[in-house]
Amino acid sequence: MLTKENTVIGFIGTGVMGKSMAGHLLKAGYPLYVFTRTKEKAQELVNQGAKWANTPKEIAQKANVIITIIGFPSDVEEVYLGENGLVTNGRKDTYLIDMTTSTPSLAGKIYEEASKKGMYALDAPVSGGDIGAREAKLAIMVGGDQEAYQKVEPILNTLGSNIILQGKAGAGQHTKMCNQITIASNMIGVIEAIVYAEKAGLDPDSVLQTITTGAAGSWSLSNLAPRVINEDFEPGFMIKHFIKDMGIALEEAEKMGLEMPGLSLAHSLYKKLQATGYGDLGTQALYKYWD
């Protein structure tokens, strides 16, 4: 059984969401090693008591539960399966939890390679953005073995409030694709509603007070639409990462013979924004397509 007394957590990726998530683990009393490509981004965690590791390899040698939330599938593959990677250098009975949104096929590959070394791999992407990470209210979608999931569930409970084992390795990533597909079309509707309200001469704040409590209500409408009205386009989740996610979903849909017209439209609009230089802004910056 994993307890705070026999658990050392390694955390890789202290960006917009990862920094808050790692902070919750520290506050819960877990010994924590951190690594991120830009050391300055982890300095606040180090000041709070986390220990710095110089490489993923060092994390693999010191921790028996390792959580990652990084950028792209290529980054995940390098961090897990590269020369200095977690699986390559990890120890038997280590639990690996990748919370990056990545491909289901890569999740399966990591699971297989980890199993060969007596390690346990779970894919556990999250939803909730910077707010969910900060408030420890993330939705966590898990793929992997039931026994491994149950062992790390108390740790996941430190990070989120809606945690469900969806199935075998890769199931967490497939579930995250469902999440992103839903958000993609919804964000178009949210932004179009604001643009329409403005053009009609309405007070957008007043409109939001009404429609967020009706059938149109959604997380994006409640949390991101106010940011748009206040011209706050700082990222809770970056456009460039959303484009990556939508690309994965479109590829998986194509494999299954599914047409995704709503997702395809959102993907094309966001790619136009990225080409204009807005890739590091939050997804609510879709407003700039009309602006």
Q: How far apart are CA 177 and CA 185, in angstroms?
A: 13
Rounded to the nearest 5 degrees, what angle is found at the Cα of 118, between the Cα atoms of 114 and 124?
A: 45
- SS3 call for 19: helix
Residue numbers annotated as active site: 176
Contact between residue 249 and residue 263 where contact means Cβ atoms under 8 Å apart: yes
Q: Are strands 51-52 and 95-98 parallel, antiparallel or unpaired?
A: unpaired
- Strands 51-52, 9-12: pairing is unpaired
- Looking at the DSSP bridge assignments, the partners of residue 96 are 66, 121
26-38 per-residue burial string, b: 16 or more CB within 10 A, e: under 16: bebebbbbbbbee
Between CA 47 and CA 28 the distance in angstroms is 16
Q: Which residue has the tokens 């658990």?
A: 7
Strands (E), the chain: 9-12, 32-35, 51-52, 65-68, 95-98, 120-123, 126-127, 138-143, 160-167
